[in-house]
Structure 1
Amino acid sequence: MYKVNEVFQTIQGEGSFTGMPAIFVRLQGCPVGCAWCDTKHTWAINMEQQVDLAQVSAKQADSEFWANVTPKALLALFAERGYQARHVVITGGEPCMYDLVPLCQALSEQGYSSQIETSGTFEIKAPADCWVTVSPKLNMAGGYKILASALQRADEIKHPVAMQKHVDELVTLLTEHQILNKLVYLQPISQQKRATELAIASCIQHNWRLSVQVHKYLGIE
């Protein structure tokens, strides 16, 4: 069973799969505590907020309501809604609080590819063919450390930046863990000119890539 906060179909706006149609499955629960998080409604797991899947699927706005869902029920929801995307992004919250192997295997058996978006602070339990995006959340309020195993497992590392110290922190992290030959994306935390210019300059300096949250520029979810 997975605690699901939200399910929707859209265009992936970040990282290597930018522009790809995708079904997002947002899981409830995250203790990391990023100050600038835009999904704080997924942090707490309150039993009083548990509802059924029909109520979650009918949500029109962000809320703390969540439903316990099996992979089979989730796939049935995809069919019921007539989703055409074949790529599923499992996000949160912090999805790696859960064992994602059963979910990803069920998706694969039905012809879906899967992608996990994680902070890198929990052990990643997922099949080898699942694409893993680690967005390392350093020095956050929850006090969680980035796991070496998560960095090694990552297919891409996507790091949010607003100021030079964020770039420096990433350089230190990659150096300490001897992370070489990984896809590295810098992503401005906001759409502000200063953060974007910093990200562009740093990508050129380090031969990284830029991720600009295309969905926010388009005004879609």
Structure 2
Amino acid sequence: MLLILLQLDDKAKGKVSKLRYKINELFETIQGEGSFTGQPSIFLRLQGCPVGCSWCDTKHTWEINETLLIPSTDMLAKRKEDDRWANVSVDEILEIFNAQGFQAKHIVITGGEPCMVDLRPLCNALEAKGFSCQVETSGTFEILVSESCWVTVSPKVNMKGGYEILTSAMQRANEIKHPVATEQHVDDLKALLVKHSIEDTPVYLQPISQKDRATKLAIDTCIENNWRLSVQVHKYIGIE
């Protein structure tokens, strides 16, 4: 019986080692948003997103064009944003961490829309090596992550792609981070919280831009509702 279990375990490991994730960027920086603001982090930016946010600052991750597939070495060598991506296995991701000499132990899996794919094998492998995981998602796809993964849902309402916010995503969230520029964005969030029965999850408002009007709206609304402010610190201090 022990031999059979070991063989099954080896097969499972083999399947995980063959899994590949479409990665646009992989870099070490400081998390600039939400609960982990200031936390040294390794960002895994996945390729692919059909949601279509008009203000998205990573539109180069939207399309999965097979002609733009590149080796992971070329992906790591990129010095500016573009829509090329690499197909990287879980084992290769861990090898890259070592080769790059990354020191951070917090992993931010973002995109694109990372929850288009099953992230459980990736999260489990990273956590087994002592990393903590955080996923940033629009809440429009089922969230398949490890139990201990921190989930940041940034709900995208009435976007071009036509996707609905899922109750399962909202209720899985460890924090809700909502971009705002107008009162309508605030009203949309309040309606979402009621619709999906969200009461105790921390809510962060994030100005869509660094303009005074959006920032003032976010500050005033946070005070009024006892929410929290997220100001994209990385943009203010000029890092990726």
Which of 176, 180, 188 pairs up with 2:195? 176
Amino acid at match of 1:21: P
**Secondary structure at the counterpart of residue 27 of structure 2:** strand
Which of 79, 86, 89 pairs up with 1:67? 86
Which of 37, 61, 84 pairs up with 2:103? 84
Give the superposed CA RMSD: 0.4
Task: Select the structure that is richer in helix.
Answer: 2
If the length of structure 2 is used for normalisation, what is the TM-score?
0.92
If the length of structure 1 is used for normalisation, what is the TM-score?
0.99
Which of 123, 147, 156 pairs up with 2:166? 147
Amino acid at match of 2:24: N
Amino acid at match of 1:199: A
Q: Alignment length, in residue pairs?
A: 221
Which of 107, 122, 126 pairs up with 2:141? 122
Q: Which runs of 5+ in 2 are unaligned?
A: 1-19
Q: Which residue of 2 aligns with 1:35?
A: 54
Q: Which residue of 2 aligns with 1:97?
A: 116
**Secondary structure at the counterpart of residue 24 of structure 2:** strand
Q: Could you report, residue by residue, the CA deviation over 1:137-194 in whole angstroms, capped at 9, with x for unpaired residues? A: 0000000000000000000000000011000000011011111100100000000000
Give structure 1 regions of 4+ aligned residues with deviation exceeding 6 angstroms: none
Q: Which runs of 5+ in 1 are unaligned?
A: none
Q: Which residue of 2 aligns with 1:186?
A: 205
Task: Quote the sequence identity (%).
Answer: 64
Q: Could you report, residue by residue, the CA deviation over 1:180-216 in whole angstroms, capped at 9, with x for unpaired residues? A: 1001000000000000000001001111000000000
Q: Which residue of 1 aligns with 2:150?
A: 131
Q: Distance in 2 between matches of 1:66 and 1:98?
A: 16
Which of 165, 172, 187 pairs up with 2:184? 165
